Structure 1
Amino acid sequence: MSGSESTHVTSLGKGDSLHQQVLASFPLCDITEDDLTQNPQFCKLLATLAQHVDQSGLTVPLKAELEKAEQKLQSQRRHWLHSESLHKGLQEMIQDHCIRKHHTTVPPDQNMFYETMEKCLLVAQCIRQLDPSSTTNQDQPSVLGLNSQQMMELMPSEKNVKRMKQGLPRELEKHLKKKCLSVLSYYHPECENESEGLRNTKLCHLSAQMDKERKRAESLRETCRENTVLLQRQTQLYLSEMIKCIQLLQSLILDHRLRVQTDLDHKKLKYFEGKCDLVLQKIKYEMVEIQLDTYTVDAISAHKKIREKLDSELKACQVEKQSVESKLASFEILGKEFETLAEEYCRLRKEIEMNNWALKEFTQCNNK
């Protein structure tokens, strides 16, 4: 680090802490005072870097070029706004004239004035659409095969245009004054009942008042931005402290909870066991109560006997099933040859049954 840079870093630390100066020089950086304390070399680097950049992070030469470009842009914007506001004002004058024609009788010379102005605006707009700039390529195809010269032929007579240009400043001044008075009435509604001279005096001070309001709004916007940055920084600090508190609470909760968790689980287990037994007893009680409400004592005893008999028959059937399954298993050991013999045996049994049935039917017919 050079001697001048060291002097600058030392001067930053005077009157206020170096950390606060660095944070003020770089408000958009997501750093805290703890970060600067833990990294002193990085803090010195930022303090030295503050000589060459502004708060937005732009270097001094780039900032100068940006300001120059902004001034040029503002100049071109003012020029464009001047032309655009003039064009809008003329269009508004034409619209007001069209509305006025439908409500009152307009003098012929005034009607001719606005018709001439409207035609001139339309022709100028068409010429601008055909040739919007001096850099337009002349070889490109024109719109509908028209050119600027053909559009100029649609202009009103030179006499009417000259008369319109002579009266245009006066009419435009009236229109703009009317708009300014409407703005003045918006800011000062009480001035509508005042004299024209007093209204003109207030109108002269209206621009200064609006400029003052604009500067006040910009100042409030800058204050709001600074408060936003300060709020973000305080929010980060608050969240970091909250995270530390939460971690401390988690450690305390875990330490205390592990000590009593076993006893608590044991008590909960006993509680749920007792509750389960109680529910089972209640279910049994409800079942007995339903049986008593549905059947008599004799019917219940008869059902018990029927159930016992059915259970005994079920057991006998299960035993028979097991014996049959064991026999089938022993038969399956003999293989496919036994399966063929079993099928042949079944076929012969069916033929025997059919012959017996036929013999029985034949015997009955003979006896008749």
Structure 2
Amino acid sequence: MSAGPDSTHVSSLGKGDGLHQQVIASFPLCDVTEADLTQNPQFCKLLATLSQHVDPTGLTFPLKKELEKTEQKLQSQRRHWLHSESLHKGLQEMIQDHCIQKQHATVPPDQSMFYETMEKCLLVAQCVRQLDPSSAANQDQPSVLGLNPQQILELMPSEKNVQRMKHGLLRELEKHLKKKCLSLLAYYQPEWESESEGLKNSKLSHLSAQLDIGKRRAESLKDTCRENSVLLQRQTQLYLSELIKCIQLLQSLILDHKLRIQTDLDRKKLDYFEGKCDLVLQKIKTEMVGIQLDTYTVDSISAHRKIREKLESALKACQVEKHSVELKLASFDILGKEFEALAKEYCRLRQEIDVNNWALKSSPSAKDK
């Protein structure tokens, strides 16, 4: 039931590929492709609706306004801090330059007094700032070395020296800043280093504008690089998806081709192995015939034939004897168990006779006879 307003709202955004392109353009940081939006139409509709309430970074418009106000306030405070910090750094650089100059040349006493007074004032101010707790700090925090800001202020130079230093500070600071600007100009445009002082001053008045132009150009190039990076990432994803499709298609073609030729390949392999087996069998038979020819000569074959004839005749005689013995045994079986007992007794007596004959033959008296 709620699909009516949403569909009307989405239809006003676009349809089909146009809607997909608009959604992708509205969320450049979102890793979404047209294939994802096509496969998930409801998700595409949701993103199209969200694009009317959020910016490309994902922030809502009210939050974006608050963020811009906060950034403006932060920029103002940052500029104020940078102004104080750059001034402090400039004064420290002036003191360092004076110390270096004293090591290489003789410095007038007034100039030495000026820089010594400025250095003491900076040190006292820095110590006072370190000892003065802020409103956010713990009020019960112990002071450093038991000192308080009032004790440090007593170390300030005399009021006369301070006033004299303040009177010439702006002039000296202006000279120092101008010197730094000229060095920056020489670095930014080396070809202007050989120009006259007036031309350098004229070029120096336009240096900030040129630096702003260069900064904007660098930011534009950075944005272009970021856009190109996003575009490259999308094109890489599209390339990888197409490459995967090509690989899948190639795999299917390889599988179909392999299945078609597998039967012919198996048949050829079978014929090959059958032919190889026949060849091996023929070789085995040849070797067997060769071994037989080397083993059985004409003389050995005739001797084997004579041995076979003798063995066969002996076998026939044994078979005849066996047949006669079997007939006798059959006749003995007819006589019954009484004859079997007599036969056993006869066998026992015969064995005793044999044993006694052997004993008589083995006795010493029998050997002497």
In 1, the alpha carbon distance for the partners of 2:166 and 2:200 equals 29
Aligned partner of residue 55 in structure 1, secondary structure: coil
Is residue 127 of structure 1 aligned with residue 132 of structure 2? no
Deviation, 1:258, is 4.1
When residues 209 and 6 of structure 1 are mapped into structure 2, their CA distance, relative to the original with a 3 A threshold, is farther
**Structure 1 spans left out of the alignment, 5+ residues:** 278-368
Question: How far apart are the structure 1 equivalents of 2:243 and 2:205?
Answer: 57
- Correspondence for 2:158: 157
Which residue pairs with 2:88 in the alignment?
Answer: 87
Task: Compute the displacement of 1:145 (Å).
Answer: 1.1
Query: Is the 8 Å Cα contact of residues 128 and 149 (structure 2) preserved in structure 1?
Result: yes
Q: Aligned-pair distance for 1:254?
A: 2.4
| Greater mean alpha carbon deviation, residues 134-143 or residues 8-17 | 8-17
1:60-139 alignment, distance < 5 Å = 60-139=61-140
Residues 1:183 and 2:162 aligned together: no
1:301 is matched with which residue? Answer: none
Amino acid at match of 1:63: K
Pair 1:100–1:231, CA change in 2 (3 A): same
- Do the aligned partners of residues 35 and 138 (structure 1) sit closer, same or farther apart at CA in structure 2, a change above 3 Å counting? closer
Could you tell me how far apart the structure 2 residues matched to 1:115 and 1:81 are?
25
8 A Cα contact 2:13 2:19, kept in partner: yes
Q: Specify the alignment match of 1:315 in structure 2.
A: none
Q: Deviation of residue 214 (structure 1)? A: 0.4
Equivalent AA in structure 2 for residue 64 of structure 1: K
Structure 1: distance between partners of 2:103 and 2:17: 73
- Per the alignment, residue 168 of structure 2 pairs with 167
Note the C-alpha offset of 1:216.
Answer: 0.6
User: Alpha-carbon deviation of 1:49?
Assistant: 1.1
Q: 1:237 to 1:149 in 2, by over 3 A?
A: same
**TM superposition shift of 1:83:** 0.7
In structure 2, distance between residues paired with 1:11 and 1:48: 11
What percentage of residue pairs aligned between the two structures are identical? Answer: 79
In the superposition, relative to structure 1, how do residues 217 and 149 fare at CA in structure 2: closer, same or farther (>3 Å)?
same
TM-score by length of 1: 0.68
Q: Give the letter for the 1:102 counterpart.
A: Q
Structure 1 match to 2:246:
245
Change (3 A) 1:8 1:216: farther
Q: Distance in 1 between matches of 2:49 and 2:16?
A: 18
* 8 Å Cα contact 2:133/2:139 also seen in 1: no
**1:155-185: CA deviation from partner (whole Å, max 9, x where unpaired):** 1111111111111011000000000000111
- Structure 2 Cα separation of the partners of residues 75 and 4 of structure 1: 45
Q: Cα distance 1:4–1:266, how it changes in 2: closer, same or farther (>3 A)?
A: closer
Map of 1:27 onto structure 2: 28
Find the counterpart in structure 1 of residue 200 from structure 2.
199
TM-score norm. by structure 2 comes to 0.68
Q: Distance in 1 between matches of 2:198 and 2:208?
A: 17
Give, in whole Å, the separation in 2 of the partners of 1:7 and 1:129. 64
Which amino acid in structure 2 is aligned with residue 122 of structure 1?
L
Structure 2: how far apart are the matches of 1:195 and 1:7? 70
Equivalent pair of 2:37/2:44 in contact (CA under 8 Å): yes
Distance 2:165 2:136 in 1: 31
Moved more, 16-25 or 140-149: 16-25
Cα displacement (A) at 1:133: 2.3
User: C-alpha displacement at 1:260, in angstroms?
Assistant: 4.3
Residue aligning to 1:325:
none
- Number of residue pairs the alignment of both structures matches: 272
Shift of 1:62: 1.1
Residue by residue over 1:266-312, the C-alpha shift from the partner in whole angstroms, topping out at 9 and shown as x without a partner, is: 49x97xx99xx9xxxxxxxxxxxxxxxxxxxxxxxxxxxxxxxxxxx
Please give the root-mean-square deviation of Cα atoms over the aligned residues, in Å. 2.6
Give 1:7 deviation, angstroms. Answer: 5.9
Secondary structure of 2:179's match?
Answer: helix
Question: 2: distance between equivalents of 1:32 and 1:191?
Answer: 52
- How far is the alpha carbon of 1:195 from its aligned partner? 1.4
Secondary structure of the residue aligned to 1:193 is coil
SS in structure 1 of the partner of residue 137 of structure 2: coil
In our comparison, the structure showing a higher alpha carbon Rg is 2
Give the 3-state SS of the residue equivalent to 1:163 in structure 2.
helix
Q: Return the offset for 1:15.
A: 12
**2:350 counterpart residue number:** none
Structure 2 letter corresponding to 1:202? K
Counterpart of 1:320 in structure 2 is none
Q: Is the 8 A contact 2:124 2:153 kept in 1?
A: yes
Structure 2 distance, partners of 1:130, 1:153, is 14
